[in-house]
Chains A and B, each alone.
Chain A
């Protein structure tokens, strides 16, 4: 189900009976809070992004209310107001997490996302790559347009294929790590 672009829709409600719902796209509304999704246990795709068609966006500040959505595979919060990663502990089937264009300053709260393949954190305020060591299935890491100076953990990710560090002030001390990753065939965009 897609309900997006409404400049008047500020609350998620009356979805409790849609227990078979697999896709819910609530991008481009005026939502400030995640609630009322607890019963949607079969949901696989959930989107709270911005609406490029109408220029309208949600402004969610906190990730919460997702504990029961254990079948989620894709979760997107493009251009919201999220300042901290949390509330994802139960999402063990999550394969794609998109938090581009938020207010994140730190990578954390991802330890349990054992299925994660794609992590998109571009256009935030992150200064350090860390907290990714347990994401053994991670293939794509997007960190463009951040404040990355320090790089850790990347050498321990066996399935990593692509890292985007475009427009980051990476400390030259860490170029050696990036060179090693390139030697392994990992695509580095810097």
Chain B
């Protein structure tokens, strides 16, 4: 679950990125959401943020019905 004290996280390049207050802030280095392991399991995630220059395609978000 992704409540305020969530222990949910994803893995990118071997690093853990936690969900904080229902929100996931992805690193700028992400080129595709498919590189982010565990993203599809965050079915209760409310906010997704990516503000980097490298993303090439939007995809892999089908399970995130609570965004």
Contact = CB atoms under 8 A, between A and B. Distances in A.
Interface of A: 1-9, 11-15, 17-21, 51, 53-54, 56
Interface of B: 31, 47-62, 64-67
A6 B47 contact: no
Residues of B contacting A: mostly: loop
A1 B59 contact: no
Contacts, number: 65
Contact of B58 (A14, A21, A56): A14
Given A17-B62, A18-B64, A9 B55 contact: yes
B58 A20 contact: no
A15 B7 CA distance: 26
Contacts of A5: 51-53
B20 to A, nearest CB: 15
Contacts of B54: 6-8
B32 to A, nearest CB: 10
Given A1-B67, A8-B56, A53 B51 contact: yes
B58 A9 contact: yes
A188 B38 CA distance: 53
A118 to B, nearest CB: 24
B62 A6 contact: no
Contacts of B58: 3, 9, 11-15
